[in-house]
Amino acid sequence: MTVYARPGAEGSVVSYESRYDHYIGGRYVPPAKGQYFENPTPITGQTFCEVARGTSEDVDAAVDAGWKAFATWGKTSPTERANILNKIADRIEENLEAIAVAECYENGKAVRECLAADIPLAADHFRYFAGALRAQEGGISELDGDTVAYHYHEPLGVVGQIIPWNFPILMAVWKLAPALAAGNCVVLKPAEQTPASIHLLLSFIEDLIPPGVLNIVNGFGIEAGAPLASHPRIRKIAFTGETTTGRLIMQYASENLIPVTLELGGKSPNVFFEDVAREKDAFYDKALEGFAFFALNQGEVCTCPSRALIASSIYDGFIADGLDRVAKVKQGNPLDTDTMIGAQASNDQLEKILSYIDIGKQEGAELLTGGERVDLGGDLSGGYYVQPTVFKGQNRMRVFQEEIFGPVVSVTTFDGFDEAIEIANDTLYGLGAGVWSRDGAQLYRAGRAIEAGRVWSNTYHQYPAHAAFGGYKQSGIGRENHKMMLDHYQQTKNLLVSYAEGPMGFF
Amino acid sequence: MTESTNPATIERVALTEAAADLIRQLVAAHGPVMFHQSGGCCDGSAPMCYPKGMFRTGQQDVLLEELAIDGVDEPAPFYMSASQYALWKHTHITVDVVQGRGSGFSLEAPEGKRFLIRSRIFSDDEYRSLVDAGVLTA
């Protein structure tokens, strides 16, 4: 067990600056209007730094810087860009502990997740897109003996990216790596809940990236995010967040006729078929972990398995064992490597979760465990902690239909395959899903029948590069985490070339 | 609770005094406002407040309430997408406000505040009235 010292405290592996400006054109510049906002840690609720409060003037400057850099960056060879991405990955690995502790402190998540998942995955993501880029080829179509169509990949130009707060670094990297690999310049707006950790990452990699290729404008959505999303000189906008803002992003994109990629969340079913409980073996143990995964990252994951569908024939035993497993989820100081569930990212997030627990009770859902805010004592009392919470109820209840984005799972039962699929698909969303069975054919059929972009089968919550991630239905548009994301950041240039000696003969 | 007008006979959306205060403050700074209830991840499952007209509502949106606020000339319409409303229709909602940080493109974020929904289940009588008024199907 290790308890990391808080960033900036004596013995800490990392320190934040007291203030972060915008990063535009390869240097830090103060916000045009001179305003800053406070950045608290959800671990204690105390402010630890202040961050530039950007406005449209800052966004304009960042877009300008991006286009200036694009003149050369857009023409770099894939080799050159891939080498830079690989070097970025190396730097992240060399500084993994510092970046992990910094992310933990800003977001409130358990540091062991940052150490074992978020930051290693971020490094790997850069390597994946470096590799994907090197292996990417255009195409040649022979149209006739004298005529050839060549297809080239070209970057889009300057693109906008709006990043969520639940994985402040990994979600930024999911968007940055393919965009930079493809030769674009980026204006990135971090979430105002987690605006600083991306700057800390930047401090380790800044010298590797040519000025203007990556620009970071901080600020609030209404003041900095909307001007970026609606900017007439961006060529694409990528957003992870919720549906109303997603619609606004599309509205702006329609005005500028630019493409969007959107990841808007879900209400992911986690389906446990009868044969899961046939034996109390390692597989059963694995399935119980899969059930308890709703608490991973405090439930602040777009694919949180927040609906557990359990075969009614095994319900009693499975839920008893599942609750047992949930009881072993250790809650505490996020900087303690033994801690499994940390703090919710903000006070309003905490309040929203508690309001959903309230409506769940009112709707008649049975509270099986949890349901309360947690006071961890000392200065952690100012932090935002919630007990892992399990409801039993019916799928049409609001706690089964709305993304709570907290450590809350709503459990129901099903009889037979068809009812399992019917319940699983009775949702507005289709981002993630889990299915658990010892029968490979059943596993396959369920995975194909569920309307979701990612169906974890006998596993959950793995996010490796090289596996496409994105939503069906209202969960969004596009696929991240995979080389197909390169396409989302590229134009196709077709050169249609005639090698014929004479005229076509029409005129 | 601040009084609110409603196209139906039964109030579907209310405001706490704290929410009404914040709306007054936002209207003074930005002009008339509107709400659209969000779904989905991160800042979702929460109401978004915009300058009126910034968010374009359409055929897939339901107007739940025109929220009248003392001291504000134009009521603030409260919308939700029809697909989401189908899942919410049995609940009365109250817009409240808490200390917060960040909220999509919602107007109140720079104030360090966040609008939040509190809910209660309609009584059988209320629900029947909404059905009778043609606002809901049974």
Q: What is the DSSP code string of A81-125?
A: HHHHHHHHHHHHHHTHHHHHHHHHHHH---HHHIIIIIHHHHHHH
Contacts of B92 (CB under 8 A, 6+ apart): B11, B12, B13, B14, B119, B120, B121, B122, B126
Max CA distance (Å), chain A: 87
Residue B3 has pLDDT above 70, yes or no: no
Q: Which residues pair with A429 in a beta bridge?
A: A473
Tell whether B133 lies on the interface with A, counting CB pairs under 8 A: no
Residue A263 a catalytic site member? yes
CA distance A346 to A330: 20
Q: Across the interface, do A356 and B120 touch by the CB < 8 Å criterion?
A: no
Among the listed residues A49, A185, A302, A304, the single catalytic one is A302
Tell whether A355 lies on the interface with B, counting CB pairs under 8 A: yes
Look up residue B94 and give its two tokens: 């109250």
Query: Nearest-CA residue of chain B relative to A227?
Result: B105
Query: Nearest-CA residue of chain A relative to B46?
Result: A352
User: Within the 366-395 window of chain A, which residues sit less than 8 Å (CB to CB) from chain B?
Assistant: none
Max CA distance (Å), chain B: 42
Look up residue B78 and give its two tokens: 């409260």
CA distance A440 to A283: 13
Chain B contact probe: residue of A50, A251, A348, A475 with most B CBs at under 10 A:
A348
Q: What is the DSSP letter of A428?
A: S
Residues of B in contact with A401 (CB under 8 A): 87
Among the listed residues A103, A106, A223, A263, the single catalytic one is A263
* Exposed / middle / buried, residue A43 (Cβ in 10 Å: 0-12, 13-18, 19+): buried
Assess: ipTM above 0.85.
yes
User: Within the 237-266 window of chain A, which residues sit less than 8 Å (CB to CB) from chain B?
Assistant: 240-248, 251, 263-266
In A218-322 the beta strands, taken as DSSP E runs, fall at 237-240, 260-263, 269-272, 307-311
Residue A264 has pLDDT above 80, yes or no: yes
Per-residue confidence (pLDDT) for residue B7, from 0 to 100: 47
Structural contact between residues A26 and A211, judged by C-beta atoms closer than 8 angstroms = yes
Mean pLDDT of chain B: 90
Mean predicted confidence (pLDDT) in A263-289? 97
pLDDT digit string, tens, across residues A222-245:
999 999 999 999 999 999 999 999
Size of the A and B interface in Cβ pairs below 8 Å = 159
Tell whether A167 lies on the interface with B, counting CB pairs under 8 A: no
Tell whether A347 lies on the interface with B, counting CB pairs under 8 A: yes
pLDDT tier at B5, thresholds 50, 70, 90: very low
Q: Across the interface, do A225 and B105 touch by the CB < 8 Å criterion?
A: yes
CA distance A328 to B82: 41
Neighbours of A32 (CB within 10 A): 16
Per-residue confidence (pLDDT) for residue B102, from 0 to 100: 74
Per-residue confidence (pLDDT) for residue A10, from 0 to 100: 96
Per-residue confidence (pLDDT) for residue B138, from 0 to 100: 60
Structural contact between residues A264 and B40, judged by C-beta atoms closer than 8 angstroms = yes
Residue A255 a catalytic site member? no
| AA identity, residue B101 | R
Mean predicted confidence (pLDDT) in B59-63? 95
Closest Cβ opposite residue A359 in set B38, B46, B119: B119
Residue A72 has pLDDT above 50, yes or no: yes
Residue A343 has pLDDT above 60, yes or no: yes
CA distance A498 to A500: 5
Structural contact between residues A447 and A492, judged by C-beta atoms closer than 8 angstroms = no
CA distance A50 to A503: 67
Q: Which residues pair with A373 in a beta bridge?
A: A386
Q: Across the interface, do A362 and B117 touch by the CB < 8 Å criterion?
A: no
pLDDT digit string, tens, across residues A432-477:
999 999 999 999 999 999 999 999 999 999 999 999 999 999 999 9
B13-132, what's its fold?
A: Hypothetical Protein Aq_1857; Chain: A; (2.60.300)
Tell whether A429 lies on the interface with B, counting CB pairs under 8 A: yes
Give the HSE-up count for residue A286: Cα atoms under 13 Å, Cβ half-sphere. 16
pLDDT digit string, tens, across residues A180-221:
999 999 999 999 999 999 999 999 999 999 999 999 999 999
pLDDT tier at A284, thresholds 50, 70, 90: very high
Higher pLDDT among residues A88 and B9, named by residue: A88
CA distance B125 to A123: 58
| Secondary element (H or E) of residue A402 | none
Q: Which domains does chain A have, with CATH numbers?
A: 19-264+475-493 (3.40.605.10), 269-457 (3.40.309.10)
DSSP per residue, A329-397: --B--TTBTT-SB---SSHHHHHHHHHHHHHHHHTT-EEEE--SEE--SGGGGGS-EE--EEEE--TTS
Mean predicted confidence (pLDDT) in A58-86? 98
pLDDT tier at B40, thresholds 50, 70, 90: confident
Q: Across the interface, do A351 and B107 touch by the CB < 8 Å criterion?
A: no
Strand pairing category for A373-374 and A385-386: antiparallel
pLDDT digit string, tens, across residues B103-133:
799 999 999 999 999 999 999 999 998 888 8
CA distance A360 to chain B (A): 10
CA distances from B136 to A362, B85, B128 (A): 21, 10, 9
* Exposed / middle / buried, residue A79 (Cβ in 10 Å: 0-12, 13-18, 19+): exposed
Q: Where are the domains of chain B?
A: 13-132
User: Within the 34-93 window of chain B, which residues sit less than 8 Å (CB to CB) from chain A?
Assistant: 36-46, 48, 50, 54-56, 81, 83-84, 87-88, 91
CA distance A93 to chain B (A): 28
Structural contact between residues A489 and A236, judged by C-beta atoms closer than 8 angstroms = yes
Strand pairing category for B76-81 and B33-37: parallel
Tell whether B26 lies on the interface with A, counting CB pairs under 8 A: no
CA distance A79 to chain B (A): 36
Q: Give the full edge-to-edge strand order of the sheet including B91-99.
A: B13-15, B91-99, B113-121
Per-residue confidence (pLDDT) for residue A324, from 0 to 100: 98
CA distance B100 to chain A (A): 5
Look up residue A303 and give its two tokens: 């694919």
Query: Nearest-CA residue of chain B relative to A223?
Result: B105
CA distances from A197 to A191, A242, A335, B67 (A): 10, 22, 15, 39
Query: Nearest-CA residue of chain B relative to A364?
Result: B121
Chain A contact probe: residue of B94, B97, B105, B116 with most A CBs at under 10 A:
B105
| Secondary element (H or E) of residue A280 | none
pLDDT tier at B44, thresholds 50, 70, 90: confident
Mean predicted confidence (pLDDT) in B58-64? 96
Mean predicted confidence (pLDDT) in B29-53? 94
CA distance A21 to A30: 5
Contacts of A174 (CB under 8 A, 6+ apart): A125, A480, A481
SS (H, E, C) A143-167: EECCEEEEEEEEECCEEEEECCCCC
pLDDT digit string, tens, across residues A13-68:
999 999 999 999 999 999 999 999 999 999 999 999 999 999 999 999 999 999 99
Mean pLDDT of chain A: 97
Chain A contact probe: residue of B41, B78, B113, B126 with most A CBs at under 10 A:
B41
Closest Cβ opposite residue B39 in set A166, A396, A403: A403
Residue A304 has pLDDT above 70, yes or no: yes
CA distance B119 to A67: 48
Among A374, A390, A358, smallest CA distance to A43 is for A374
Mean predicted confidence (pLDDT) in A399-417? 97
Q: Tell me the H-state helices in A190-242.
A: 197-205, 226-229
CA distances from A126 to A174, A275, A459 (A): 9, 40, 24
